[in-house]
Structure 1
Amino acid sequence: MTDNVSAEQLRQFIERVERLEEEKRGLQDDIKDTYGEAKSTGFDVKTMRSIVRLRRMEKHHRDEADALLETYRTALGLQ
């Protein structure tokens, strides 16, 4: 009987993951469409993606990344 309960629980987990994967695909399509719309109105999508990535970071991580980038730019004479 335990095998039946475990099998049923496993099936439920698998089905839940499948539903979430489908939702994720839908959201990814929505994000792609949004970037496409922004591009068609003149925004630079590459820069927008960078901004989204930066906004997800905590401030101290963002500050560390900025300081490191500045150090590397200085070392390479990219001022």
Structure 2
Amino acid sequence: MPMNVAADQLRQYVERAERLIEERKGLNDDLKDVFAEAKSQGFDVPTIKWVIRERAVERQKREEQNALRETYAVQLGLAF
């Protein structure tokens, strides 16, 4: 591959990555706004984030994890 072709490809990758980084910054700002709005309405943001993570896990896997957490909590004398 000629050097100028490789340099052009490299530049394209870098520019594409830079655009995606900027988009991600914008999305992160939007997400912060959503959480700030939820907080201002009296919602607990850490709990919202937990719900989002839990919803990303398949139901069966989530049920298995919850059962295991409950078992551990009982073994450690924690109220569950």
- The verdict on a shared fold, with TM-score over 0.5 as the criterion, is yes
Unaligned runs of 5+ in 1: none
Counterpart position of 1:70: 70
Counterpart position of 1:16: 16
1:9-48 alignment to 2 at 5 Å? 9-48=9-48
SS at match of 2:13: helix
Percent of residue pairs bearing the same amino acid type: 54
Counterpart position of 1:3: 3
Aligned length: 79
What is the RMSD of the two structures over their aligned residues, measured on CA atoms?
1.1
Q: Provide the rounded CA distance (Å) in 2 between the counterparts of 1:63 and 1:2.
A: 55
Cα deviation 1:29-77 (Å, max 9, x = unaligned)? 1001100000000001010000000011122221222122111111111
Unaligned runs of 5+ in 2: none
Q: Provide the rounded CA distance (Å) in 2 between the counterparts of 1:68 and 1:2.
A: 58
Q: Provide the rounded CA distance (Å) in 2 between the counterparts of 1:7 and 1:64.
A: 50
Q: Provide the rounded CA distance (Å) in 1 between the counterparts of 2:69 and 2:33.
A: 31
